[in-house]
């Protein structure tokens, strides 16, 4: 029975992973990891992913920097996929994959061990390379907000260490979702201390089309202002990042046209359900779903905003529904169009 259960789980991930004879140092990541698993190694994985803003698990709440958990959920899988794409040469290319899967297999573990060896080593830093991670929090706590902001942008300290050093009244920008946009595009600004009354500035121009989903993220529609390069800064009752932020953005004719997922319905599905996804930037035809249960190719969108597929269209859904050991599974997915893979990931839960 145990062998059958293991076989069914392997079926589920077969489309996403190529098992090779890759060797890696035995250390933190001694087993393969996927959605639904838990343990100390998952928490360490989240810490490693959060050390790089481009692979952070979450900007707030459970799984975010300083609030890592031991549960491998959809957000962790999405962050792993970003890690895999960042180190594609070492992880994806040998497996003949083009996009991250979110599954931590042998190739991913090997790279994680390499990064962890540098990230968690107890060596003393030099002035030229910045503080070693075990000293990063102490380093961050000794800096004023302006220096902290610049250290974050240069990668001198990891994001989780910055969070540990912040106070409730601090205001910082950690990153922008894109550095080249045109008027009308959507920009996501991540940071700390952002609230609904925050104003985002482009040089001396002000955008009023701002919404926020947390204290760590602002969503703004790029205003109709002349093309050029602008300093990006924010202000609210906590103060301002003017003069502290090194972030710049180019507003012009070029832009990132990759799709962005807005909603997934239903969020809990069964075998017979149809899943509806709303997004921007979809093609009329040829949209591909890259999911943790395989790839669905050539989905059409009549309005450029909506695509639909059935749960049973997922190539490896049958592995889940036929498994005696699994009752619930989180499907994480991205959408691939002619302009590239979506800038974010969607997810929904399937159950029997």
Could you give all domains of the chain from N- to C-terminal order, each with its CATH number? 2-119 (no CATH), 169-256 (2.60.40.10), 260-351 (2.60.40.10)
Instruction: Please give the pLDDT value at position 256.
Output: 66
Q: Can you list the residues of the chain whose pLDDT is less than 70?
A: 1-27, 60, 120-169, 174, 208-209, 211-216, 245-246, 254-256
Cα–Cα nearest to 247, from 162, 190, 163: 190
Distances (CA, A) of 175 to 3, 146, 263, 314: 46, 15, 23, 34
**What pLDDT is stored for residue 276 in this prediction?**
95
Contact of 271 with 312, CB cutoff 8 Å? yes
**Burial tier of 168 (Cβ tally within 10 Å: 0-12, 13-18, 19+):** exposed
Q: What is the pLDDT of residue 211?
A: 67
DSSP code of 339?
T
The CA-atom distances, in angstroms, between 92 and each of 86, 105, 127, 149, 215 are 10, 11, 34, 33, 34
Among 169, 216, 168, 162, which Cα is nearest to 192's? 216
With b for 16 or more beta-carbon neighbours within 10 A and e for fewer, the 62-72 pattern comes to ebbbeebbebb
DSSP reduced 3-state for 208: coil
**Gap between the Cα atoms of 244 and 144, Å rounded:** 10
């Amino acid at each position: 029975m145990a062998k059958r259960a293991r076989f069914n789980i392997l079926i589920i991930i077969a489309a996403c992973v190529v098992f090779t004879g890759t060797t890696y140092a035995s250390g933190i990541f001694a087993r393969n990891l996927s959605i639904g698993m838990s343990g100390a190694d998952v928490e360490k994985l989240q810490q490693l992913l959060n050390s790089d803003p481009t692979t952070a698990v979450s900007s707030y709440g459970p799984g975010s920097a300083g609030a890592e958990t031991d549960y491998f959920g959809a957000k962790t899988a999405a962050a792993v996929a970003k890690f895999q794409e960042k180190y594609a040469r070492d992880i994806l290319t040998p497996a003949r994959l083009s996009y991250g899967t979110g599954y931590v297999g042998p190739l991913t573990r090997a790279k994680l061990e390499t990064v962890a060896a540098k990230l968690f080593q107890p060596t003393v830093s030099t002035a030229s390379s910045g503080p070693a991670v075990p000293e990063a929090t102490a380093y961050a706590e000794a800096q004023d907000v302006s220096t902290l902001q610049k250290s974050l942008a240069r990668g001198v300290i990891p994001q989780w260490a910055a969070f540990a050093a912040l106070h409730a009244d601090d205001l910082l920008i950690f990153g922008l979702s894109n550095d080249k946009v045109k008027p009308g595009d959507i920009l996501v600004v991540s940071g700390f201390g952002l609230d609904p009354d925050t104003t985002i500035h482009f040089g001396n121009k002000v955008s009023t089309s701002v919404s926020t989903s947390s204290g760590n993220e602002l969503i703004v529609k790029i205003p109709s202002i002349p093309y050029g390069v602008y300093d990006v800064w924010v202000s609210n009752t906590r103060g301002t990042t003017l003069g502290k932020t090194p972030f710049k953005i180019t507003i012009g004719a070029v832009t990132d046209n990759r799709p962005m997922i807005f909603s997934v319905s239903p969020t809990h599905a069964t075998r017979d359900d149809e899943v509806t996804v709303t997004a921007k930037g979809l093609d009329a035809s040829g949209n591909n779903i890259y999911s943790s249960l395989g790839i669905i190719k050539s989905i059409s969108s009549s309005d450029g905003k909506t695509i639909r597929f059935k749960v049973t269209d997922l190539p490896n859904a049958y592995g889940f529904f036929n498994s005696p050991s699994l009752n619930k599974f989180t499907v994480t997915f991205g959408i691939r169009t002619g302009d590239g893979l979506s800038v974010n990931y969607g997810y929904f839960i399937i159950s029997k």
